[in-house]
Amino acid sequence: MNFPILSSLILLPTIGAIFLFFIKEKDGNNTTIKYVALFTTVVNFLISMYLWIAFDQSSSSFQFIEDRIWIEGFINYKVGVDGISILFIILTTFITPLCIISVNNSVKNRLRDFLIAILIMESFMIGVFCALDLVVFYLFFEAGLIPMFLIIGIWGGARRVYSAFKFFLYTLLGSVLMLVAIISIYWITGTTDVVQLYEIGIDVKYQNLLWLAFFSSFAVKTPMWPVHTWLPDAHVEAPTAGSVLLAAILLKMAGYGFIRFSLGLFPVASEVFTPLIYTLSVVAIIFTSLIALMQEDMKKLIAYSSVAHMGFVTLGIFTLQQQGIEGSIIQMISHGLVSAALFLTVGVVYDRMHSRLITTYGGLVSVIPKYSILFMLFALASLGLPGTSGFIGEFLILMGAFKDNFLVAVIASIGVILGAAYMLWLYKRVVFGKLINEDLKKILDLNRSEYFILSCLAAPILFFGFYPDPLINTIEVSVTDLINMHNTNIASK
Amino acid sequence: MENLNLILPEIFISLSIMFLLILGVFKNDSSKITFNLSLFAILITAIITINETFSVSRETLFNESVVIDHMSSLMKIITLIGGFLVLVISSTYLKTFKIFNIEYPVLILSSILGMMVMISSNDLIIFYMGLELQSLALYVLATYNRDQIKSSEAGLKYFVLSALSSGLLLYGCSLIYGFSGSTNFDIISNQLNSKEYVLTFGIVFILVGLAFKISAVPFHMWAPDVYEGSPTTVTLFFTIVPKIAALTVFIRFLYVPFLNLIDQWQMIIVFLSIASMIFGAVAAIGQTNIKRLIAYSSISHIGYTLAGLATVSNEGIQSSIIYISIYVVMNLALFSSLLMLRRKDQYYEDIDDLSGLSKNHPLLSLCLLLILFSLAGIPPLAGFFAKFYVFKAVLEQSMYFLAIVGLLSTVIAAFYYLRIIKIMYFDEEKDKYDTEHSLWLKFSLTVSTILILVYFIFPSQLIEVVSRINII
């Protein structure tokens, strides 16, 4: 494979952004700008689909590897994918075009700058999932802060400045310790190449501290309780497209990081700290579900539900069982689709009514039925109804958890019930009941582009709910290999 | 016969200074031609430096009191380029304040000469001579806008405090001379050993003097006032050019005469570094004037450079030099954009004046955005790599505390850089600024911003040049 397919995936959105930079923004008519952005991201999606087709599912080693000298004798620019990362790349390239279509309604001013920010963001996110060198990973991981800060700060809601700062500083604070750890790894082992590090392994006496440094970064990004407080703020204030990117993809960077780096590089420390992760995950699941129950603001409710769902993900990863990890990955993909869809559904009514408060709504089913049906589908997917992708993930995670720790699994199962409670209650209050608010009578149902976006999201949710094999086949060999590697490492030390 | 070619740059620049002074005496209204000629002189000096000394690995002159090596030639070139760019973008500003006189370029040239002497010095006396030459020129430059009280105050403050620090430095030098019997660095290095405790005083005095020159905490008090009061172009000069020379001298002092006394000075440098990083970051938060803010930010950047020096390794020295080079580029870009905040004949230097800049001046604010994120050390911009190399060197020596404190203070520092970005991008707009700027100003802003932006594509080149510097 000589064609640098991964680099072109990373670079293409940036090239699109540079191209956009030179198109002049006209008042009122921005179709050219939008089509350029859309075209770029759709091409990127097609390339990533090709990547999936060309990907050899029977091999657990990294594929499409590109390895170039970047800083002489120190860092190589190395990218590659295995079964785990390829799904996240596809998720990214799938969600971004939908975001771009959705800006039609939500972003009014400085559309060109917004699209540039989104495209640059896409480049960085794909980079995170491809990177096979710790420094390259860190570079992409941190660089994503810049566009996201601007997206929240420029196009956000009333408290956007506070939220943007909180988002930026929290994440930066978490990440700097990871940088210390990465450089330390270089001095301990002499390389930052992930593939080599998997082979060499890191001395046990360093693992605990290094694990904690990585954890500090990923815990903030996931976000895990108690450092999750930036997420509701950021979500609520970000424009719809920003919330979608944040929930669907940015949060997954941390989950991916846990699997790729925490498990892969520090097997012994991962065993040591499993109780910590279990505790934090279970607290997150129960605690944030309860908080979500009490929310008045729809976006905030969904944001807290994200924290709870990510609690399931971290729980699943550290069960260190085949089912648990596979479940976590599927849960992440599914949550990427479902939370994106939920934020978009909230965005739809917000664009019309300019209110995110649950009390504004009620009785929507009688005026906008199409909307109500799709909203129901997404709410059910979020609570993990069988037949939706949400079920597969949660089920596998709980199965893994029962194998490993009965008590944790039981408590987490209670979280599933709470999840159903807040989602259904939200749905009931927004969609059913009497139509009290007079303004709602004039509300319009989904227009064509909204209908298109939401259907695009509904299709894979249902498809993978009934037939998850394509996902599981892709990740299976890689996960098995990861667990085998983990077990041999533990056994030898 | 000594090989005078090696100091040809210094000879040439001194001759140019004299020539320009004579020209100023005999020709009426010669400010413009002096200005252009001095630019030309700096350029030629830079070319001579590259030609004559760039490939010299180590040569000494005049009884080993002057040394030409890779470090000195590289630092001289950075100084000259920095000086050239500062001078070239000052003209509009000086004309606005009607201080476009022949003294300005001549003073800049003399301080550059002083710095070049400092950079090459291998002897206490030569070093002190160069230091005083550059300082005297800088005092005058600080007061250069003599009709403004603030400028005069800045110059006076700088003069008094700087004279005090020079006194301490000189006292330290005399103590060192008393113990070693020589002013030559190499001889001192052989004579000194750590058993003589009074010697520590000498080292401390010298370090205090030098720390003052680079404005490291706790000897930074002059910096905010002087930076604020001086004319903006002079502030730009202060923030970049003297720091390069002072850093070189710092490196030479620590690693040539005092190399055997590492135990005595390493803790001091670590302390200076940590204090500067934290204080610079915290104190900048409350500032409303951009120049004061830059003063504090430059204090914290000096902290990072010192962190590299504290490591006692060639990698550390190289990382400090890389840091200062990238810092020069970033500061040049920052000031270039600051000099563009002009409406008619009025320059603006409050942070609030940037409010909503992105709506009226999208390109300028995009440049500032990149510069500020780079100063905050966010990848993939150049500022990140500067910090990255420093912490790589620091962690090689397992100095975890220094690394963690340094990185945490970058988070604090990020806050005030973000605040400026917030004001530019999130706040309501004000009136438009002039869009007519001199070509050189646009040039320096564009080139330095592009360098910051694309540095990550070619990081190896700078390392290659710097990696030839092996002091230990």
Q: Summarize pLDDT for A215-239 with one digit per residue, the tens.
A: 999 998 888 888 888 888 888 888 8
Report yes or no: B285 and B300 within 8 Å, Cβ to Cβ. Answer: no
The Cα of A154 is separated from the nearest Cα of chain B by a number of Å equal to: 5
Alpha-carbon distances, residue B242 vs B83, B112, B119, B324 (angstroms): 10, 8, 10, 11
pLDDT tens-digit map of A310-351: 999 999 988 888 888 999 999 999 999 999 999 888 888 888
Contacts of A145 in chain B (CB under 8 A): 378
Alpha-carbon distances, residue B99 vs A449, B31, B91, B258, B345 (angstroms): 62, 10, 9, 44, 13
pLDDT tens-digit map of B386-417: 999 999 999 888 888 998 899 889 999 999 89
Of B398, B410, B426, the CB nearest to A161: B426
Whether residue B2 is predicted with pLDDT greater than 80 in this model: the reply is: no
Which pTM does this prediction carry?
0.92
In 3D, which of B211, B228, B229 has the Cα closest to residue B220?
Answer: B211
Average pLDDT, integer, range B20-43: 87
Percent of residues, chain A, with pLDDT higher than 70: 98
Contacts of B425 in chain A (CB under 8 A): 150, 153-154
Q: Print burial letters for A414-448: b (CB count within 10 Å at least 16), e (below 16).
A: ebbebbbebbeebbeebbeeeeebeebeebeebee
Contacts of A177 in chain B (CB under 8 A): 404, 407
Average pLDDT, integer, range B219-224: 88
Tell me whether the omega of the peptide bond preceding residue A223 falls within 30 degrees of 0, making it cis: yes
Residue of B nearest to A160 (CA): B426
With CB atoms and an 8 Å threshold, state whether A71 touches B426.
Answer: no
pLDDT for res B109: 93
Contacts of A169 in chain B (CB under 8 A): 411, 414-415, 418
With CB atoms and an 8 Å threshold, state whether A169 touches B378.
Answer: no
pLDDT for res B149: 87
The Cα of B357 is separated from the nearest Cα of chain A by a number of Å equal to: 13
pLDDT tens-digit map of A415-451: 888 888 988 888 888 888 787 777 777 778 778 888 8
Burial (0-12, 13-18, 19+ Cβ within 10 Å), B200:
middle
In 3D, which of A334, A431, A440 has the Cα closest to residue A374?
Answer: A431
Report yes or no: A233 and A167 within 8 Å, Cβ to Cβ. Answer: yes
pLDDT tens-digit map of B137-162: 999 988 888 888 888 888 899 999 99
With CB atoms and an 8 Å threshold, state whether A139 touches B380.
Answer: yes
Provide Rg for chain A, Cα atoms: 22
Q: Print burial letters for B415-443: b (CB count within 10 Å at least 16), e (below 16).
A: bbbbbbbbbbbbbeebeebeeebbebbee
Grouping H, G, I as helix, E, B as strand and the rest as coil, residue A77 is strand
Alpha-carbon distance A320 to A21, whole Å? 46
Alpha-carbon distance A177 to B60, whole Å? 45
Report yes or no: A183 and B407 within 8 Å, Cβ to Cβ. Answer: no
ipTM metric: 0.90
Whether residue B115 is predicted with pLDDT greater than 90 in this model: the reply is: yes
Whether residue B323 is predicted with pLDDT greater than 90 in this model: the reply is: yes
Question: Could you give the count of Cα atoms lying within 13 Å of A312 in the half-sphere of its Cβ?
Answer: 37
pLDDT band at B1 (very low <50, low <70, confident <90, very high): low
Report yes or no: B31 and B86 within 8 Å, Cβ to Cβ. Answer: no
pLDDT for res A27: 62
Average pLDDT, integer, range B108-114: 93
The Cα of B425 is separated from the nearest Cα of chain A by a number of Å equal to: 6
pLDDT band at A64 (very low <50, low <70, confident <90, very high): confident
pLDDT for res A33: 83
Whether residue A28 is predicted with pLDDT greater than 70 in this model: the reply is: no
pLDDT for res B379: 85
Alpha-carbon distance B71 to B469, whole Å? 6
Alpha-carbon distances, residue B396 vs A294, A466, B392 (angstroms): 50, 53, 6
| DSSP annotation of A193 | B
Grouping H, G, I as helix, E, B as strand and the rest as coil, residue A238 is coil
**What's the per-residue H, E or C state across chain B?**
CCCHHHHHHHHHHHHHHHHHHHHHHHCCCCHHHHHHHHHHHHHHHHHHHHHHHCCCCEEEECCCCEEEEHHHHHHHHHHHHHHHHHHHHHHHHHHHCCCCCCHHHHHHHHHHHHHHHHHHECEHHHHHHHHHHHHHHHHHHHCCCCCCHHHHHHHHHHHHHHHHHHHHHHHHHHHHHHHHCCCEHHHHHHHCCCCCCHHHHHHHHHHHHHHHHCCCCCCCCHHHHHHHHCCHHHHHHHHHHHHHHHHHHHHHHHHCCCHHHHHHHHHHHHHHHHHHHHHHHHHHCCCCEHHHHHHHHHHHHHHHHHHHHCCCCHHHHHHHHHHHHHHHHHHHHHHHHHCCCEECCEECCEHHHHCCHHHHCHHHHHHHHHHHHHHHCCCCCHHHHHHHHHHHHHHHCCCHHHHHHHHHHHHHHHHHHHHHHHHHHCCCCCCCCCCCCCHHHHHHHHHHHHHHHHHHHCCHHHHHHHCCCCCC
Report yes or no: B397 and B313 within 8 Å, Cβ to Cβ. Answer: yes
Phi, psi (deg, nearest 5) at residue A70: -115, -60
Residue of B nearest to A143 (CA): B379
Whether residue A106 is predicted with pLDDT greater than 70 in this model: the reply is: no
Of A71, A139, A165, the CB nearest to B460: A71
- The residue of B378, B410, B457 whose CB has the most chain A CBs within 10 angstroms, and thus the best one to mutate to test that interface, is B378
Average pLDDT, integer, range B80-91: 90
Average pLDDT, integer, range A2-6: 80
| DSSP annotation of A59 | -
Residue A386: both structure tokens together: 């069988």
Least confident of A258-262, B98-102, B388-392: B98-102
How does the average pLDDT of chain A come out, rounded? 86
Whether residue B79 is predicted with pLDDT greater than 90 in this model: the reply is: yes
Alpha-carbon distance B367 to B443, whole Å? 13
Q: Which residue has the tokens 């490993």?
A: A404
The Cα of A171 is separated from the nearest Cα of chain B by a number of Å equal to: 10
pLDDT for res B463: 85
pLDDT band at A493 (very low <50, low <70, confident <90, very high): low
pLDDT for res B41: 92
The Cα of B298 is separated from the nearest Cα of chain A by a number of Å equal to: 21
Contacts of B380 in chain A (CB under 8 A): 139, 143
Contacts of B410 in chain A (CB under 8 A): 172, 176
Average pLDDT, integer, range B115-120: 92
Contacts of A165 in chain B (CB under 8 A): 415, 418, 422
The amino acid that residue A78 corresponds to is K
Report yes or no: B49 and B92 within 8 Å, Cβ to Cβ. Answer: no
Whether residue B361 is predicted with pLDDT greater than 60 in this model: the reply is: yes
Percent of residues, chain A, with pLDDT higher than 90: 11
A377/A26: higher pLDDT: A377
The Cα of B366 is separated from the nearest Cα of chain A by a number of Å equal to: 11
pLDDT tens-digit map of B282-314: 998 888 888 899 999 999 999 999 999 888 888
Least confident of A17-26, B162-171, B371-380: A17-26
In 3D, which of B92, B227, B237 has the Cα closest to residue B157?
Answer: B227
Grouping H, G, I as helix, E, B as strand and the rest as coil, residue A23 is coil
Report yes or no: A86 and A55 within 8 Å, Cβ to Cβ. Answer: yes
Grouping H, G, I as helix, E, B as strand and the rest as coil, residue A201 is coil
